[in-house]
Structure 1
Amino acid sequence: MSDLLGDGNVKVTFCLTLSSVSNPPAAELNAGQDLQEVLTKDGLDISPEQAAVDNTSLASRDETEDAGTVKYSLELTVKIQEDDVDDVGTSTLVDRQKGFLAVRRNRPHEDDYEAGDPVEVYPVRCGRQRKQPPALNTAQTFKSKLFNYATADSDAVVA
């Protein structure tokens, strides 16, 4: 048995438009801005939070609940680049910018999106960039909270 490694095998792309959340076309994903090279190694934070629905009745003798709606919390930690041309994180994740965050796992990030690739797609609006305190021997970074404004598909397939 061997572990499935994430090293270099995560592609993160911000697209201004996608014609489908569940079946995004490869050409549209490949036209987006790749961000994985400017994210810190722990800078992709996608956390689903599921609400509990109380389904206890008057006749119940135990408190019971069921699975409710899901809300995604998304936050990126981005390394700020010296050269404005290379600073794609700062220029892409602009406050109030709407778009789609696409994440493909388990294939080399250098590979283009291809039909059949499993991908996560989150319709998002960017929050304000929050510059992080400077620290010795560390790149300057900012955090960008992304607001999931429409239904996401964490099990999408590239068309």
Structure 2
Amino acid sequence: MGQILTDGNTRATFVPSIASISAPTVAELTAVGIVDLENTLTDDGLSIEFDEGTIAGPTLASTQDFEAPGRSKANIDLTGYRDSITANDRMWTVMVRGTVGFLVVRRGLVVATAYAAGQHVEVYGVTCGERRKLAPERESQEKFSIKLFASSTYNIDATVAA
């Protein structure tokens, strides 16, 4: 079977600074100040969806309507768990409203695999929205969510550089 599994094979990192979104470096992805998110996010807590506008292109001579892709927009929502140990609660303490950075997502490799040159990643320039504590649930841990606003260009086909 050639299907790519997601369980344990999706890495997500909040990175304060990236010089080139098409080629983030290993040093940038592992620098002091990054926030490893995959052990904080719920198993369905990484939601990246796209809205895409439509450009109408009808002509007077045609009996059909034509259209082309317009602007696209990434909609990113994260849902994670709180941690009672402050040092482990970095998503909550670092990603506060107004914090600017980059969400980097790597899919298809075991999470424990270190970032390395040649790996394919998605890079989204974002600004963090307000952290929202979620309603308590029976037999659950405390959860919260953050909307990440696409505040600069993104690249869904980036390659890690050395």
TM range (shorter): over 0.9
1:48 aligns with: 50
Which ranges in structure 1 are unaligned for 5 or more consecutive residues?
A: none
The CA distance in 2 between the partners of 1:110 and 1:88, in whole Å, is 19
Number of equivalenced pairs: 159
For residue 138 of structure 1, report the CA deviation from its aligned partner. Answer: 1.5
2:62 aligns with: 60
5 Å matches for 1:1-159? 1-31=1-31, 32-159=34-161
Amino acid at match of 1:118: H
For residue 144 of structure 1, report the CA deviation from its aligned partner. Answer: 0.4
**TM-score of the superposed pair, with normalisation by structure 1:** 0.96
CA-based RMSD of the aligned residues comes to 1.0
Moved over 4 A (4+): none
Amino acid at match of 2:21: V
Q: Deviations over 1:3-47 (max 9, x none)?
A: 211111111000111111110001110222211100000000000
The CA distance in 1 between the partners of 2:23 and 2:88, in whole Å, is 30
Amino acid at match of 1:86: N
For residue 108 of structure 1, report the CA deviation from its aligned partner. Answer: 1.1
Which ranges in structure 2 are unaligned for 5 or more consecutive residues?
A: none
For residue 133 of structure 1, report the CA deviation from its aligned partner. Answer: 0.6
Moved more, 37-46 or 137-146: 137-146
**TM-score of the superposed pair, with normalisation by structure 2:** 0.94
Residue identity (%): 38
The CA distance in 2 between the partners of 1:33 and 1:111, in whole Å, is 16
For residue 78 of structure 1, report the CA deviation from its aligned partner. Answer: 1.2
For residue 62 of structure 1, report the CA deviation from its aligned partner. Answer: 2.1
The CA distance in 1 between the partners of 2:125 and 2:67, in whole Å, is 29
The CA distance in 2 between the partners of 1:25 and 1:61, in whole Å, is 51
